[in-house]
Amino acid sequence: MLDIKQIRENPELVQQRLVTRGDKFDIQAILDLDKKQRELEATRSALQARGNEIAGLIPQKIKAGSDPKGAEIAALREEGKSVKETISELEPQEKEIKEKIQELVLALPNLPSESTPIGSNEDENVEIRRWGSEYIPQNQNIIPHWDIAEKLGILNVERAVKVAQSRFVNLIGAGAALERALIQFMLNTQIAAGYVEVIPPILVNTESLIATGQLPKFAEESFKCAADDLWLIPTAEVPITNLYRGEILAAEDLPIYHCAYTPCFRREAGSYGRDMRGLIRLHQFNKVELVKFVHPSTSFEELEKLVGNAEAILQALKLPYRVIELCTGDLGFGSAKTYDLEVWLPSSEKYREISSCSNFVDFQARRGDIRFKEAGKKGTQYVHTLNGSGLAIGRTMAAILENYQQPDGTIGIPEALQPYLGREAIGTKS
């Protein structure tokens, strides 16, 4: 959530940076309502002061000799009554305006950071680096991951549709084992890097989704339990960030690093061509998420480290990838700066997103009221929050199924995963 003070004091700058996102965001309605609310507040405060003054004057005047039933005291009492009535009329007006301001501010996305490249869409994203070109398969006849997985009997879609609907899959045998191995490998790697593991709820309340920015904007993309105020999480970012909602942390406890494996649920409305098949766009998928709570002075440095933590998984698995910095027009709703990691999928000869690492600065912390206090200093500050996939499990499996295809139709297992899986290939008896 943007700071209303920043909107009030620097409207031109806020409007200019919102425009770089490519959508039409008009903050004038917020400014008008804010002005009206502050005028009402000033009027109410003045009336309350006058009411308190009258309440003190009446006993003073009576003590000084005024007739308690005289005209002077009666006039003061009548004025006091009028003041109370006016205040009671102003309070609901002020409350209504505050709620409207809150509604409008919650609908505004974060401001891009000054270092985020300006652009209108994904075509203007900036490639930062590539890694692992030597691991790109030279075989020109790579079978799409869904076909090779079904051929090997480790993935079944038809029965998943019968049990649920389209965009769900069953992983079977070695497929299920590979998914489990990836989860354990990723968690172990991130725990070794300093992250503290959490197993959070995968059902969260509305307030939690508001805090991280999924609501109100992305309600239609989320699955809601109709009988309860509970939603299936789109990512572990939501429950992990909300661990500290409404709390004041000690500055010496920062930074806080958490990692979590969870199932994730997204409606993924729309048609995505080839992505309608396989493991790329599912309603339910598994992911290891990385979440950081950091001091504002270090958050962009922490973002670079976060990207490195996600890259470490791809490098250990020897999967070719590239790092892309998103331009302003392609930023997520709550992000100030984002790097995407895109893994090479040889069947389509494209790099595809496998992790998105973002610095939200104080955007989520304001929405969730997550602050910290430094010893010896007055007041509190909002923490900066960051998160990223470390990684999306299904997409990692898809990359392995394609990049590790062998001429005999088997799938080699990355060396780093072999201790977890207990085998060197899928499709052989060993």
Is 347 among the catalytic positions?
no
Is 115 among the catalytic positions?
no
The one catalytic residue among 41, 207, 268, 353 = 353
Cis bond leading into 216, ω under 30°?
A: yes
CB atoms within 10 A of CB 386: 29
CB 7 within 8 A of CB 14: yes
CB atoms within 10 A of CB 307: 21
CB atoms within 10 A of CB 326: 23
Is 179 among the catalytic positions?
no
Residue type (1 letter), 301: E
The one catalytic residue among 17, 21, 281, 367 = 281
Q: How far apart are CA 196 and CA 244, in angstroms?
A: 15
Is 356 among the catalytic positions?
yes
Helical (H) or strand (E) element with 340: strand 337-345
The one catalytic residue among 266, 366, 367, 371 = 266
Is 415 among the catalytic positions?
no
The one catalytic residue among 335, 356, 358, 389 = 356
List, as own/partner pairs, every contact residues 409-417 make where C-beta atoms lie below 8 angstroms and the sequence separation is at least 24, other chains included.
Answer: 409/148, 409/151, 409/152, 411/148, 411/152, 413/178, 414/316, 414/317, 414/318, 414/319, 415/318, 416/185, 416/316, 416/317, 417/178, 417/181, 417/182, 417/185, 417/317
Q: How far apart are CA 77 and CA 71, in angstroms?
A: 10
Q: Can you read off the two tokens belonging to residue 27?
A: 């903050």
Q: How far apart are CA 414 and CA 368, in angstroms?
A: 40
Q: How far apart are CA 214 and CA 239, in angstroms?
A: 12
CA-angle at 327, arms to 312 and 308, nearest 5°: 10
The one catalytic residue among 277, 367, 395, 402 = 395
Catalytic residues: 266, 281, 353, 356, 395
